[in-house]
Amino acid sequence: MSGVLLREHPDAHDCGAHPERSSVTLLGPFALRRAGVDAPLGPPKQQALLAVLLLQPGRTLGLQQLVEALWGQRPPAHTKNLLQKYLSGLRPALTAHGMTVEWTGSGYRLDPGAACVDLYAYDRLAAAGRTALAAGQPAEAARLLDRARARKGGPLAEGLDAPLLERERIFTRSRILIDFELRAELELELGRHREAIPYLECLVHSHELHERFVWLLMLALHRAGRDGEALTAYRDHQRRAAQELGAEPGPALTRLHLAVLRQDPALGSLSALSTPAARPATSTPGARPATETRSSVVSR
C-alpha cells in the first residue's frame, strides 16, 4: 500500500495560475523547473531520493526507511554518508525553488513550499471528482477528472530506479486506471456515447487485457448504433485473451456480448457506473438514469 494516498498541499490543484511558480513533475520524467528551466538535480540516485521524499511530504523518514526505499535489502556500504552527500547535493536547487529538507532528530522531512507538484494536483482533482459524483454532479465530476488526467505525463518518476519507486509506480498506475474507468463511465452516464468511443478505443489499445475498458467500449458502440464494431471489439479481445492468457473473456463481458447479439433493450438504460453514486436532484440534460437494471446484462 502506498505510504500516502492523498498528498495534502495548499493550492496543489491550482498550478496553472502561477506561470513563474516552481513545478515538480513526478508523473513522467522527473524534473524540478521554473519558467521552463530545469534545476540541476545530480545523479539518478540523488534524484530518486528527492522523489521518495516528495511522495511523503511533511512526513519524517528515518535513515533506515530511506535506505530501504532507495536500495532495498542489499544497500551499498556507507549508506549514511551517501544519503548526506545526496542531500547536500540537492539543497542548492531546493533552496532556489523554496523547498527545504530538514533533520528532525529522528529523520529527514521535506517541505515542498509553494511548488506545484503534479502528483499532488492529480490526487486532489481526482478526489474532488469523486466527491462531485457522490454529490450528484456527474458533469462536474467529469470536468475535474479531465483536469486530473491532464496532469499525467507518464509513469511515476519515469527513468529513476529505487524499490519504493517501483512499488509506488505499480500503485499509482492501478489507481489512475480506476480513475480513467470512472471518466469513461461518466461519459456514458451523461449520454455522450459517440464522444466516449475514441477515448475508450485508445484505452483498449493501451491496456489490451483490461476487460472493463472493452466492456465500456462495447456498450458505447452499441448505443451509438455500431453493433458490428461492438461485436468485433469482443472478438478481438477474445482472441487476445486466448493467445496471451489461454483464457476466455470474463462473465461480465460475455453477458454483454450476448445482450448485444440479441439486441436486449435493457442495454439502453443499463448504468455504466461500476459503483453506486448519488444522483443529481434535477436531471442533467442528455444524461441517462444510473439506476441498476434487473436484466442479466448487469456487469458487476
Residue 86 has pLDDT above 70, yes or no: yes
| pLDDT confidence tier of residue 276, bands split at 50, 70 and 90 | low
pLDDT per position as a tens digit, 205-233:
999 999 999 999 999 999 999 999 999 99
Please, which pLDDT band fits residue 19 given cuts at 50, 70 and 90? low
For residue 245, give Cα distances in angstroms to 199, 218, 248, 257, 261. 25, 21, 8, 20, 25
pLDDT at 291: 32
- Nearest Cα neighbor of 70 from 144, 199, 141, 164 is 164
CA distance 229 to 193: 14
Q: Which residue has the higher pLDDT, 192 or 288?
A: 192
Please state the pTM of the whole predicted model: 0.83
Give the confidence band of 3 by pLDDT, cuts at 50, 70, 90: very low
| HEC letters along the chain | CCCCCCCCCCCCCCHHHCCCCCEEECECECEEEECCEECCCCCHHHHHHHHHHHCCCCCCECHHHHHHHHHCCCCCCCHHHHHHHHHHHHHHHHHHCCCEEEECCCCEEEECCCCEEHHHHHHHHHHHHHHHHHCCCHHHHHHHHHHHHCCCCCCECECCCCHHHHHHHHHHHHHHHHHHHHHHHHHHHCCCHHHHHHHHHHHHHHCCCCHHHHHHHHHHHHHCCCHHHHHHHHHHHHHHHHHHHCCCCCHHHHHHHHHHHCCCHHHHCCCCCCCCCCCCCCCCCCCCCCCCCCCCCCCC
pLDDT class for 20, splitting at 50, 70, 90? Answer: confident
pLDDT digits (tens, 9 = 90+) for 234-275: 999 999 999 999 999 999 999 999 999 999 999 999 999 976
β-bridge partners, 37: 34
